Amino acid sequence: MGVNANTNAANRKVYVKVPASTANLGPGFDTLGMALDLYEWIEMGFAEQTKIHLFGDQVEGIATDKTNLIYKVAQLVFEKAGVQHPELEIAMYSDIPLTRGLGSSAAAIVGGLAAANALIGSPLSDDTLFQLATELEDHPDNVGASLFGGLVVAFWDGQRAEYIRVEPDERLEVLVAIPHFQLATEKARHVLPREQSLTNAVFNVGHSSVLVAALCTGRLDMIPRAMKDALHQPYRAALVPGLAKILAEATDHGALGVALSGAGPTMLALVDRSSSRKAELEQFLLDTLATEQIEATLLWLNPDRGGVQVLTHFDAGCTLIENIKGDVRG
């Protein structure tokens, strides 16, 4: 994370850009995450009175008072650093859809932590931010990916989270089908059984291990067999019409592997970017969801490799939205 620190300026502002993420990648329940090139931007500065401005289509229902998640995580950073800044001006623009399994809450947490830390001169290390983010999100897969970018293999034992970042294979492209309905992660976790069989545990340890090894060694041919799960997708399929068929058949239509993205309802296919079957895969996903009367948006994405970025080239005279349009998105 690059930081432009100037801690003394009361009118100082920082800007961060934070990627969306897909968690689990099938068998890696709560342990495998990949950052995606879909972003949220946050501007944060000190203020006399707290003001929160939200821009974009993906902000419905987000609080604009001190209950806002970004405000609250910023206060955690200040507390941890031993400073007090109760009044903040925050602006946020996001392209990450809410409650769809693309890590919007993790992006808000990571973006809020990174912005607040940069605002006070970055006293907290990346590892401290990762520990804080994992505790807040309750699992390290999304937050690790949004923080560090790329593919993050992680675990959390309730005390500490550990991770290894893996560079995603250049050949990997991602197709997501984002249904036009929301599914809160909390609800999708409630359908999971508290206890699992040894058979399921062994199935997932094996598949997840081989999937990680395949992703680390460029064995894309192994992804179709390794990207299978017994711990969460079978239970969550009841919440996402069409998921069971898509999981069973997408590899027959050109996907390397397919999974529920995070807790859903978005479905994600890994695709070899040189594949000649992209249109066939798109049609299969749309037809399957249409049969279930599910409207969905398809998006082609790439892995994000940089994770959260503290931006230094924003124009302090512009609003966040003007900056994003002008400088970031061209």
Closest CA relative to residue 97, chosen from 184, 25, 189, 186:
184
> Does the annotation flag 82 for ligand binding?
no
User: Which one of ligand ADP, ligand LJ64HWYM, none interacts with residue 184, CB within 5 to 8 A by kind?
Assistant: ligand ADP
| Binding flag, residue 69, ligand ADP (CB under 6 A) | yes
Environment class of residue 79 by beta-carbon count within 10 Å: exposed (0-12), middle (13-18) or buried (19+)?
exposed
* Pair 61, 75: CB distance under 8 Å: no
Number of residues this chain uses to bind ligand ADP (CB under 6 A): 20
d(CA 185, CA 49): 32
User: Which one of ligand LJ64HWYM, ligand ADP, none interacts with residue 23, CB within 5 to 8 A by kind?
Assistant: ligand LJ64HWYM
184-213 binders of ligand ADP (CB under 6 A): 184-185
* Closest CB 97 distance from ligand LJ64HWYM, rounded Å: 10
> Does the annotation flag 307 for ligand binding?
no
d(CA 263, CA 229): 13
> Does the annotation flag 103 for ligand binding?
yes
* Pair 36, 168: CB distance under 8 Å: no
Kindly tell me which residue out of 23, 108, 174, 176 binds ligand LJ64HWYM, with binding defined by CB under 6 A. Answer: 23
| Binding flag, residue 230, ligand ADP (CB under 6 A) | no
Helices (DSSP H) in 243-305: which residue ranges? Answer: 243-249, 278-291
How far does Cα 287 stand from its chain's mean position?
A: 27
* Closest CB 67 distance from ligand ADP, rounded Å: 9
DSSP-derived 3-state class of residue 62: coil
User: Which one of ligand ADP, ligand LJ64HWYM, none interacts with residue 219, CB within 5 to 8 A by kind?
Assistant: none
Which string of x and - marks every residue 192-231 that binds ligand LJ64HWYM (by CB under 6 A)?
----------------------------------------
Give the residue with the Cβ less far from ligand ADP, 102 or 214: 102
* Closest CB 141 distance from ligand LJ64HWYM, rounded Å: 5
88 φ, ψ (degrees, to nearest 5):
-135, 150
Kindly tell me which residue out of 45, 97, 103, 254 binds ligand LJ64HWYM, with binding defined by CB under 6 A. Answer: 103
d(CA 48, CA 30): 40
d(CA 142, CA 125): 19
d(CA 156, CA 134): 8
User: Which one of ligand LJ64HWYM, ligand ADP, none interacts with residue 175, CB within 5 to 8 A by kind?
Assistant: none
Amino acid at 328: V
d(CA 163, CA 188): 24
| Binding flag, residue 262, ligand LJ64HWYM (CB under 6 A) | yes
16 φ, ψ (degrees, to nearest 5):
-130, 150
| Binding flag, residue 108, ligand ADP (CB under 6 A) | yes
Q: Which residues contact residue 294 at a Cβ distance below 8 angstroms, ignoring those fewer than 6 apart?
A: 179, 180, 181, 241, 242
Neighbours of 146 (CB within 10 A): 35
Number of residues this chain uses to bind ligand LJ64HWYM (CB under 6 A): 16
Kindly tell me which residue out of 100, 139, 236, 278 binds ligand ADP, with binding defined by CB under 6 A. Answer: 100
59-66 CB contacts, 8 Å cutoff, 24+ apart? 59/92, 59/94, 59/98, 60/98, 61/98, 62/92, 62/98
User: Which one of ligand LJ64HWYM, ligand ADP, none interacts with residue 231, CB within 5 to 8 A by kind?
Assistant: none
User: Which one of ligand LJ64HWYM, ligand ADP, none interacts with residue 139, CB within 5 to 8 A by kind?
Assistant: ligand LJ64HWYM
* Closest CB 117 distance from ligand ADP, rounded Å: 17
What is the binding site for ligand ADP (CB under 6 A)? 40, 62, 68-70, 92, 94, 98-106, 108, 184-185, 262
Residue numbers belonging to the annotated binding site: 97-107
Residue numbers belonging to the annotated binding site for ATP: 97-107
